[in-house]
Amino acid sequence: MPVDRRKALVFGAALALRLVLLLLFPSLPDLLTGRVEVSTPVNSFKRLQEGLFLYTRNISPYDGGVFHQAPILLPLFSLLPNSRDFPLPTAVFYSLIDLVNANALITISDSGQSVSSRLYSALRKDIRWDGASIAAWFLFNPFTIATCLGRPTSVLTTSGILYAVSNAVCGNSFNAMLALGFASYLSIYPALLFIPLVILCYDIQVQKAKTPSSATLFALKHFGILLASVAGLLGISALIIGDFGEFVSATYGFQLLVPDLTPNIGLWWYFFIEIFDSFREFFLGVFWLHLAGYVGGLTVRLRQQPLFIITSLLAFSPSSSHTRLMTAVMRYTFFASSALLYATLLGPAFYHLWIYAGSGNANFFYAITLVWSLGLSILLADTIFAALREEWELENPEMRGKDVRQV
């Protein structure tokens, strides 16, 4: 197999950059692990270490308020040497995960599904980057590097999602469902991607096989695979931990009910600090419903571009480790979004003012999270607009480049 030289170069440089950063600034990983922009209570590497410590000493890590991550991570990470004494193996592990993710992105990009799928073929096919450039954009993105060094476990969820998509675009729908099952098992929300992913798989299958099987049957079959893979992983977890109910309430219950309000760049924490107690459950329901609500709308309207739906949905996920994924796959809106830049620069400063300097209060950081969310939503809306416009121009070629209105 011929080795793509550009790809090898990008991968090598990315790996070297990560290791050089680690060697030059040995305290950088611990610093980033403590940053609220990188670590949330459900993916923090420090909490994982605590869970591992308890797990290797035969104390149930879920019988406490610190560890809320999936049980399968415990035996996985206990294979790695103690990261405090030997930081290098963990860093190499996380860098490799980044490379694996980049590889999946290349596969997605090279398949060309984003520009021409079964029902859709983009007009601006030529405006597109090749796989190696996308991998470079992903691997040298400062968000990605910060996440890699901060070592949150959510990168594994990202891998699961990316592999689900890359397998789907290759027509390997069984593996796609397994990977999605893995991602959903690690954190719940990737399950929302099931519908667009199954549409993507179906389109690819129809393209290849030419003899379309029943869509309902196809969806049901894949739903079965997804359920089976999640159930299998849960079964393994029950074998690892023993007490099934305990870990389910400590992981999924924790993610759904948000009892730990540690600040992050999302909107939820401050809202649920300040909300009146009697409305807490109601607004939790509203927020989750809001997240789930986009799946239906986007799927119905953008039926022809399932890959784009997946990309848009990822933008809603809660921390920067996913934002960098979105900026990587996105191709239409390439505008440097000043709102995001503003939030990126001022966020850490305002957090410092609140927590350390004491010269600002919680509203400073809260305001930045508002700006960040606003910036993201505008960016997303722009992307969706671009996709819809592209679709419309495809139907009405004479309208290309003209002013349009939405009614």
Partner 1 sequence: MTVLFFFLSLLSLVCASLSSPSAPSDYHERLDLQPLPQSSLLASFNFRSNTSQESFEQRHFRYFPRALGQILQHAHTKELHLRFTTGRWDAESWGPRPWNGSKEGGTGVELWAWIDAVDDERAFAKWITLTQSLSGLFCASMNFVDSTRTTRPVVSFDPAEDHSPASSLHLLHGTLPGEVVCTENLTPFLKLLPCKGKAGISSLFDGHKLFDASWQSMSVDVRPICPEQGECLVQIEQTVDMVLDIDRSKRPRDNPIPRPVPNDQLACDASKPYHSDDTCYPLENTLEKGWSLAEVFGRSLNGVCPLTEGNPETVCLRVPNERRVDIPPEVTETRQADGYTRCFALHPSTPFDLSIPEQEVHSQVPLKERSLHAERTIVGHGQERGGMRIIFNNPSETSPVEFIYFETLPWFLRPFVHTLQATITGHDGVRRQVPSSQIVKETFYRPAIDRKRGTQLELTLSVPAASTVTLTYDFEKAILRYTEYPPDANRGFNVAPAVIRLNPQDNESSPIYIRTTSLLLPLPTPDFSMPYNVIILTSTVIALAFGNIFNLLVRRFVSKEEAAALMAQTLKGRLLGKIVALRDRIRGKTSKTE
In the complex, the smallest distance separating the C-beta of residue 6 from partner 1, rounded to whole angstroms, is 36
Largest Cα–Cα separation, the chain = 70
All residues at 6 or more sequence positions from 385 whose CB lies less than 8 Å from its CB, including other chains: none
272 near partner 1, judged by CB under 8 A: yes
221 near partner 1, judged by CB under 8 A: no
Rg (CA), the chain: 22
Among 10, 54, 168, 199, binds partner 1 (CB under 8 A): 54
Bridge partners for 116 per DSSP: 121
In the complex, the smallest distance separating the C-beta of residue 262 from partner 1, rounded to whole angstroms, is 6
8 Å CB contact between 198 and 306: no
8 Å CB contact between 322 and 40: no
Residues shown for the chain: 407
267 near partner 1, judged by CB under 8 A: yes
Q: Where are the alpha helices (DSSP H) in 25-153?
A: 28-33, 45-56, 73-78, 87-111, 131-139, 142-150
Among 75, 89, 285, 297, binds partner 1 (CB under 8 A): 297
Is the Cβ of residue 49 or residue 320 nearer to partner 1 in the bound state? 49
Is the Cβ of residue 191 or residue 378 nearer to partner 1 in the bound state? 378
Amino acid at 120: Y
52 near partner 1, judged by CB under 8 A: yes
8 Å CB contact between 60 and 85: no
What is the crossing angle of helices 362-395 and 306-314, to 10°?
Answer: 170
The window from 57-65, 162-170, 190-198, 230-238 that contacts partner 1 (CB under 8 A) reads 57-65
Residue 390: enclosing H or E segment and its boundaries? helix 362-395
The window from 70-78, 149-157, 189-197, 296-304 that contacts partner 1 (CB under 8 A) reads 296-304
Give burial (CB, 10 Å; 0-12/13-18/19+) of 253: middle
126 near partner 1, judged by CB under 8 A: no
In the complex, the smallest distance separating the C-beta of residue 222 from partner 1, rounded to whole angstroms, is 25
In the complex, the smallest distance separating the C-beta of residue 144 from partner 1, rounded to whole angstroms, is 24
Phi-psi sector, 358: left (phi>0), alpha (psi -120 to 50), beta: left
Is the Cβ of residue 7 or residue 280 nearer to partner 1 in the bound state? 280
26 near partner 1, judged by CB under 8 A: no
Buried b (16+ CB within 10 A) or exposed e, 304-337: bbbbbbbbbbbbbbbbbbbbbbbbbbbbbbeeeb
252 near partner 1, judged by CB under 8 A: no
381 near partner 1, judged by CB under 8 A: yes
Is the Cβ of residue 4 or residue 246 nearer to partner 1 in the bound state? 246
303 near partner 1, judged by CB under 8 A: no
The window from 21-29, 149-157, 171-179, 355-363 that contacts partner 1 (CB under 8 A) reads 355-363
Amino acid at 222: H
Among 27, 79, 85, 402, binds partner 1 (CB under 8 A): 402
Among 7, 50, 221, 349, binds partner 1 (CB under 8 A): 50
Q: Which residues contribute to the site for partner 1 (CB under 8 A)? A: 34, 36, 46, 49-50, 52-54, 59, 63-66, 259-263, 267, 269-277, 287, 290, 293-294, 297-298, 300-301, 354-356, 358, 361-363, 366, 370, 373-374, 376-378, 380-381, 384-385, 388-389, 392, 399, 402-407
